Amino acid sequence: MMRVRGRERHQGFPRAAPDATPTNSGFQVARPALVRSADVGEHYFAKRPQAQSRPGTVDLVLPDLHFRLATDRGMFSPDRVDLGTRVLLDTVPPPPATGDLLDLGCGYGPITLTMAARSPQAIVWGVDVNERALECGWANAQAAGLDNVRFSLDDVIPAGLRFAAIWSNPPIRVGKPALHALLTTWLARLSPGGVAHLVVQKNLGSDSLQRWLGERGWPAERLASRAGYRVLAVRAAENTGQTTDQTEGTP
């Protein structure tokens, strides 16, 4: 049975709000209304955000886990856990129990920490370009007592590392060429038999991304469609010889 993380550190959590739902552990949590996060600043993927620091917290409440997460200005969705992230975490199958797992574009870590808690024997890598977000991620892992996470800039992951699973709410707003380059780089690092789960808003091109993935040799199936988001399950390429033209075939 999954442990509820961070309870001992955050005594003030809501326990039995009117919309609370029972869980397998008997622990009751308030399920906040799902709201679409529109707080996607222009520069959430800056390496060193210029926005004045204003620390905050958000609660990530899932049926099996509850984290209170530190956030700040200058990163993705600092006021609430993004709805796409929630949809992913609500619908994705359990991650592999062991091996190296990747959260691509981890931000302050809601996906990284969920993977780490669901697979405590695995090592979970949270990769991002935003140093402020990575600092929050580290603090959040420590507060949750998770020692199987590694937050890193994208260019310091050991080159030979392969991932048994990748979960990502990818940075669509970097633009199609950069997004395709990012996915080409990291999907090539899936282990044989590995699966990547990506959540993408339908309005932001999930269906064309799904087609592009298929054309590039990564068959992608739609695992879930909810609240305007698609969760795509992407299989590791049969061979590792991915082509280098990252934008050809772009819809």
Ligand X SMILES: C[S@@+](CC[C@H](N)C(=O)[O-])C[C@H]1O[C@@H](n2cnc3c(N)ncnc32)[C@H](O)[C@@H]1O
The contact set with ligand X (CB under 6 A) reads 44-45, 76-77, 82, 85, 105-107, 110-111, 127-130, 133, 154, 169, 171, 174, 182
The helix or strand, by DSSP H or E, that contains position 65, with its residue range, turns out to be: none
Q: Which CB sits closer to ligand X, 27 or 45? A: 45
Q: Which CB sits closer to ligand X, 28 or 242? A: 242
* CB of 235 vs ligand X, minimal distance in Å: 22
Number of alpha carbons in the 13 Å side-chain half-sphere of residue 242: 23
| Residue length of the chain | 251
Q: Which CB sits closer to ligand X, 115 or 213? A: 115
Q: Which CB sits closer to ligand X, 80 or 235? A: 80
Bridge partners of residue 153, in order along the sequence: 128
**Burial (Cβ within 10 Å: 0-12, 13-18, ≥19) of residue 14:** middle
* CB of 1 vs ligand X, minimal distance in Å: 25
* CB of 88 vs ligand X, minimal distance in Å: 8
CB 205 within 8 Å of CB 94? no
DSSP state, 156?
Answer: G
* CB of 17 vs ligand X, minimal distance in Å: 23
Using CB positions, name the residue nearest to ligand X.
Answer: 105
Among 234, 215, 214, 212, smallest CA distance to 223 is for: 234
